[in-house]
């Protein structure tokens, strides 16, 4: 079979062109985020609640226009932050341009809420500045340091909510439980004090879930997830909103 060198060159040019214009590869699925948006000259940034990281904002023209116009209505001058709740996807850090100065990028697909900053935004956990209060957290898994893990089939049946008064609302499969918690900087203590006593199915992870909660030692937030390290460095629980 005779190969036409001209055709080979043409195909190569097309492939290179496609590579140059191909879209960014998103690093995560769409999630809900709360945080602070800043608009100014060559600045469009988002800082999630509970995070010190700042992300360059990418969005379709209509979403960018809404954010810009809302920012201009709410603030007195550029570079002031406003509170937003958005749906977006985290992207890899840019390698060039203004975006490269930030920790990463976020592609905002929808804007659910825009308003001026308020005192209760991203409710602070002591002086840590990270919020876990006022959210119902769904248990995704506990990964133990012996390489085993526990993962519920339905995370919505294993939840914990930290109330502002220091009390806990817990769902442990077929039972409801409660207790109390304390936060000091990144240290978290949890004490489950009572629970209903319904008989859950044999494969229930009710007791595992409550046991792990009682072993809480340290918490941190990362990209919208809550992580709780257990005592004696025995494992880490992971929760989603």
Q: To 5 degrees, how large is the angle CA 193–CA 199–CA 204?
A: 85
pLDDT digits (tens, 9 = 90+) for 164-196: 778 999 999 999 999 999 887 778 999 999 999
pLDDT tens digits, one per residue of 15-65: 444 333 333 334 457 787 888 999 998 899 999 877 778 999 999 999 999
Quote the CA–CA distance of 228 and 95 in Å, as a whole number.
33
Taking the C-alpha atoms of residue 114 and residue 63, their distance in angstroms, rounded to an integer, is 12
Closest by Cα among 219, 214, 222, 230 to 148: 230
Q: Which domains does the chain possess? A: 26-115 (2.40.50), 136-240 (2.40.128.270)
Return phi, psi of residue 201, to 5°: -60, 155
Specify the 3-state DSSP secondary structure of 214: helix
Read off the pTM. 0.50
CA distance 206 to 196: 11
In the chain, % of residues over pLDDT 70: 82
Nearest-angstrom CA–CA distance, 74 and 34: 17
- ∠ CA(231), CA(49), CA(63), 5° rounding? 145
């Amino acid at each position: 079979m005779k190969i036409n060198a001209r055709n080979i060159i043409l195909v190569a040019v097309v492939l290179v062109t496609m590579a140059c214009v191909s879209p960014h590869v998103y690093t995560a699925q769409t999630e809900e985020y709360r945080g602070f948006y800043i608009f100014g000259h060559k600045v469009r940034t988002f800082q999630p609640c509970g995070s010190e990281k700042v992300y360059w904002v990418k969005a379709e023209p209509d979403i960018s226009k809404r954010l810009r116009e809302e920012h201009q209505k709410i603030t007195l001058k550029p570079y002031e932050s406003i509170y937003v709740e958005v749906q977006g996807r985290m992207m890899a850090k840019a390698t060039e341009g203004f975006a490269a100065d930030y920790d990463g990028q976020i592609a905002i697909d929808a804007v659910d809420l825009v308003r001026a900053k308020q005192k209760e935004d991203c409710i602070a956990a002591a002086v840590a500045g990270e919020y876990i209060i006022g959210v119902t957290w769904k248990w995704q898994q506990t990964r133990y340091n012996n390489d085993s893990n526990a993962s519920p089939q339905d995370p919505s049946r294993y939840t914990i909510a930290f109330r502002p008064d220091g009390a806990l609302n817990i769902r442990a499969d077929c039972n409801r439980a409660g207790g109390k918690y304390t936060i000091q900087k990144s240290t978290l203590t949890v004490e489950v004090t009572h629970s209903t006593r319904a008989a859950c199915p044999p494969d229930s992870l009710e007791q595992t879930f409550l046991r792990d909660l009682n072993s809480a030692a340290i918490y941190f937030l990362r990209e919208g997830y809550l992580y709780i390290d257990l005592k004696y460095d025995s494992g880490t629980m992971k929760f989603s909103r």
